[in-house]
Amino acid sequence: MNLIHKKKDGRLHIYVRQDKYKGVLKSHNWVGRTYLNGLQKVVSSGTSNLDEAIPILEKWFDMLLQEKIPDNSANNPTHEQNIKEMSENINTAVSQTENQNSASSNTIPVEDHRKKDNSINVTGKGTAFKMFDKIKNFKFSSLKGTSRVEDQNLSGNSDAVSTQNKIKKFYDKYFKARVSKLSVVGEEISGLDITREAIRVAQVSQDKDENWIFDKFSYRLLDQTKIAENILDSKDYLAEEISLALANAKITSKNIALSIPVTSAIIKVVTSPLMLEDELQKAIETDSLWENLVQLTDNLNDYSVFHQVINRNSKTNTMEILFVASKLSDVNAYSSIVKKAGLNPVIMDVRCFALKNAHDNTKFKNNEEKINSAILELGIDENYILIIHNNMPIITDIFLRPQDKQHLLEIKPNQISAESEAVVRRHAMQIKQAITDYENKYETKINTIQVVSTLKNIDSVLNIFTKNLLTTRFVTFDPLQNVGIPSYNAEKILEGNKSFLSPVLGLAYRKLDVFGYYKFVTAVKNINLLPNRDAIRQQNKLKFLSGFALKGLGVGIAALYLILISFSFFQISYYKKKLENFDQVQTEFNKINLQHSKLQRLSNDMKNASRLGKLINSNQVSSYTALVQISKSVPQRVQFNTLDFNGTNQIIIAGSAFADQDISNFVTNLNGQSSVDLASLQNMNVSNNTNDLKSAGNKKGFTILVKLKAS
C-alpha cells in the first residue's frame, strides 16, 4: 500500500488498498486509517477516485471524533447503550417499512479493530456504514418470532436459554460429536499434491496406539516440456501421471483429497455482528453477508465459498468468521484432472491449510509452537507466511518477481551474488514486517519459523535468511517426525529436506466429515471448496448410516448367538452333572426291570387261572368231572392259555406245546375219557405266547374243541 495523502493534521492517513488475486492487482480502493484511544480504525471509501474518496473518509474521521459512530470497544459505554437500544427496538423495526428500518440503522456499530486489521470494503459511493445498515436490516426482517431470543443473546443473558436449546447443545456436544468422530475415523482417503515439478500421492494409517504410519507413497517427476505455462491446461498429461503414481503406491482408494494453491484462494477472517445460526444461514443464502463483509472483485456466484464461525463474543456482540473462496473455474479445473484419472474428489483444501494439518499431526516437544505457529512456504510457485493464532489463520503473501525466484535457485554454499543477496533481503523484510504486525497486535513473540520448500539448495538459502533475521530461527519442517515409515517406503525418502512431503501428508490426514465433527474441533481442519460437497456429505452419510445399521444388525445377531451359546453351555453343564451316575442307574434299572418281568408273568398266570376258575360251576357234577378228566389228559409238555366253556356241553381249549406229538397225545388222551364225546384239533400255529421268555420261540400254539357227553 502507498501512502499518498494526509489530512486532519496528519491524523488521517489515506492510502491505496491493493487487493490481489493470483498475484494480480484487482483493485485500487482508497482506504482511510487513524488511531483513536490507542486503537487502529480502518475503513474503505469504496471508490478508486481520490477526489471522491477524500470527503467520504474525512466525514468518517469527523464522525469518529464526535462519537456519532458507536465504538465496538468493550470499554465504550456508548456501544453498550446503542446495542441495548437496538435490541429494545427490534419488534418495532419488524413492523416498520423499509424506509423506517433505514432510518433506525444509524445505531449499528462499526467493526472493532483491536483484534484484526481487516478493512471493510463498501461497494458504491455511499458512506462506509452502509454495510452494517444492510446487515441490521436483514436481521430485523428475519427475526419474526425470534426477537426475544435475539435480544437475550445481545444482552449476554445466558440464564434465558430455552430448554430446547439446552437439549440441542447436549445432543451436539455428546452424541453428535461422538458419532461424527466415529464417522471421520472410518473413512479412507488418499492425499494428492499437484505441483509444477511433481505429482505426489500418499495414504496414512494408524496403529493400535493411534500413532501415524506413512503407509503408501509415490511420486512422479513431471516432464517440463509437457507442462503448459498454466498447469491446468495439461490435464491429460497430469491425469496419466496421477494414475501411474497411484499404481506405483498400490493405492486402491478412489476417494481423493487435493489442494489448490494459495494464489488461487481468498482467505479472510471477517468480523460480523453476532447472529444466530439460522440468521447466519439466511444471510448467506441471500448473499447479503458476503457482499457486505467481503469485497470481491467479481460476482459472488463465480466463487466456491466455504465459511465457518471460529469465535463468538457475547460481550462485544461480534463473531469472527473464516471465509475461504476460490474461483469455480479453478476448482472445476482441478476436479476435472482428478476425475480424468478415474478418481473421486471428495475434499478440496487450500495448500496452506494442508501444511497446517501436517504440522498439527506431528508431535513436537514444545507444545507452544503448536498453539501459535508460523509456517513459511518458500519456493518457485508459492511464497507466503502462515501464522496460526488460536486456530485463526493469518496469511501474508510474499511478493517475488520471476527473476527474483531465479536468483534464489542460483544460491550455493559460500557463494552468493549481489542480486541473490538483495532478493533474500527483500524477502526477509516482508517476513519481518508480517511477524512484527502480528506481535504488536497480539503481544505474542514468534521466535521459530517452520519452513516448507522444494528448493534443493534450501539449507544455503536459510543460512542467508538467518543473517538478515538474527532473532528468528528458521527450521526446515520435518512432517515425518514421530511418523512410522515402513521399510518399503524408506528408500523413496531421501535424507535431508523432507518438508516437500508436507502438503501431500497433510492431505492424507484429511477425513471426510459427514456429520460436522470438525465444528467441535477447529475450522481450518474442515475446509472443502468442492461445489458439490453437500451432496458428497449426504451420500457418505447414508453410506455410513447404512453401514452403521448393518454393523448394528451384525452385532445384534452376534449378541443373540452369544446368549444362545451361553445358555446352551449352562444347559450342557447342568445335564452333564445329571448324567455322571448314568451307568450305575442303568444297572439298577436292568435289575429292577428283570424282577418286574418275572412278577408280570406270574401275575398273568394268576389272572388266567382266576378267569378259568370262574368258567367252572363247582356245584355241577358233570362240569367238575369233565374238568378233572381234562386235567388228567394234559401231557407234561403242554400248557393251557385259555379254556372257554359254554356252560352246557362244549369246551374250547387254547394253549401251546413243544411238539406236534404232544398235541396229538393230548387229543388222544381227551378222547379216552368217559365224559368226552369227541375231542378234535381245530388249528395249530407258532405260539405267540411270550410269558416264558426262555422257550416261547420253540412252542406251537393249538386250539382243541371238546364236546362233552350228555349227562
Residue range 117-157, pLDDT digits in tens: 333 333 333 333 344 444 444 433 333 333 333 344 434 44
In the predicted model, is pLDDT for residue 294 greater than 60? yes
For the chain, what's the residue count?
711
Question: What local confidence, expressed as pLDDT, does residue 573 receive?
Answer: 82
- Beta-carbon-side half-sphere exposure of residue 81 (alpha carbons within 13 Å): 7
Q: Is 239 in contact with 343 (CB distance < 8 Å)? A: no
Report which of 136, 2, 121, 152 is spatially closest to residue 56, judged by C-alpha positions: 121
Q: Clarify whether residues 355 and 469 are in a common domain.
A: no
Copy the grid coordinates of residue 690. Answer: 411270550
Q: What mean pLDDT is predicted for residues 81-90?
A: 39
Lowest mean pLDDT among 28-42, 118-132, 161-175, 418-432: 118-132
pLDDT, residue 241, reads 95
pLDDT at 537: 59
Residue 527 lies in a domain: yes
Same domain, 647 and 680: yes
Count the domains in the chain.
4
Residue 546 belongs to some domain of the structure: no
Spell out the residues 6+ positions from residue 513 whose beta carbon is closer than 8 angstroms to its own.
180, 183, 184, 526, 537
Q: In 581-701, which residue ranges form alpha helices assigned H by DSSP?
A: 582-615, 621-633, 660-671
Residue with cell 462506509: 128
Residue 542 within a domain: no
Q: Give residue-wise pLDDT tens across range 48-67.
A: 788 888 888 888 888 877 76
Domain with 699 in it: 616-708
Q: Tell me the torsion sign for CA atoms 419, 425, 429, 435.
A: positive
**Where among 443, 460, 477 does a domain terminate?**
477
Give mean pLDDT, residues 235-257: 92
Name the β-bridge partners of 218.
201
Same domain for 381 and 267: no
In a domain, 551, yes or no: no
pLDDT at 432: 93
- Supply the pTM of this predicted model: 0.55
Phi/psi of residue 410, nearest 5 degrees = -85, -5
Asked which of 93-107, 517-531, 674-688 is least confident by mean pLDDT, the reply is 93-107
pLDDT of residue 581: 79
- End-to-end CA separation in angstroms for the chain: 159
Mean pLDDT of 410-416: 84
Residues 6+ apart with CB under 8 A from 567: none
- Report DSSP state, residue 158: G
Q: Based on the domain organization, do 316 and 447 belong to the same domain?
A: no
Same-domain pairing of 240 and 337: yes
Has residue 240 been placed in a domain?
yes
Claim to verify: residue 322 and residue 423 sit in the same structural domain: no
- Cβ(641)–Cβ(608) below 8 Å: yes
285 and 390 together in one domain:
no
CATH of the domain at 625: 3.30.1360.100
Q: Are residues 100 and 179 located together in one domain of the fold? A: no
Number of H helices, E strands in the chain: 23, 21
Contact by Cβ (8 Å): 45, 31: yes
Residues 469 and 349 in one domain: no
User: Pairing between strand 448-452 and 392-397?
Assistant: unpaired
**Are the CB atoms for 522 and 496 separated by under 8 Å?**
no
**What would the pLDDT profile of 684-695 be if each residue is shown by its tens digit?**
887 655 454 344
Are residues 16 and 148 located together in one domain of the fold? yes
Indicate whether 148 and 48 sit together in one domain. Answer: yes
* Last residue of one domain, picked from the residues 161, 182, 199: 161
Read off the CATH number of the domain in which 524 is found. 3.30.420.380
CA distance 383 to 23: 11
Q: Say if residue 92 is in the same domain as residue 133.
A: yes
**Is the pLDDT at 221 greater than 90, yes or no?**
yes
Torsions phi, psi of 231, nearest 5? -60, -25
